[in-house]
Amino acid sequence: MFSVPWYIFLLQFAAGLFLGNGVPHFVQGMSGNAFPTPFASPPGVGDSSPVVNVVWGFLNLALGFALLFNFAPKGADVVLEWLFVGLGALVIGLFCAHHFGQVRSRRR
């Protein structure tokens, strides 16, 4: 049915997850803002320094781009493959919006 193995779609989805997660951390860090990371206390709730966020965001972006470099959408299923990349970014975006919305509403 598809011309690429199923695991390529999974890796492209993961690339979207990493790229989508890297953006807010990198931007918040570059803006000088503290923002939650897995390294904060408690993890994912407490704030990490801007420097930690820049590094964490950069590592996520680098991993996402590395996955795309090695498993870039190409061939007959290119549209479907890019949809998986976009779906990964959308899923992490919705998760982060929900999670950080709850975290910030508890701080008020």
CA distances from 78 to 4, 63, 95 (A): 10, 21, 26
Task: State which residues of the chain have pLDDT below 50.
Answer: none
pLDDT at 76: 74
Cα separation, 75 vs 89, whole angstroms: 22
Kindly report, residue by residue over 30-59, the tens digit of the pLDDT: 999 999 999 999 999 999 999 999 999 999
User: Which residue bears the tokens 């904060």?
Assistant: 40
Give the per-residue pLDDT at 73.
Answer: 85
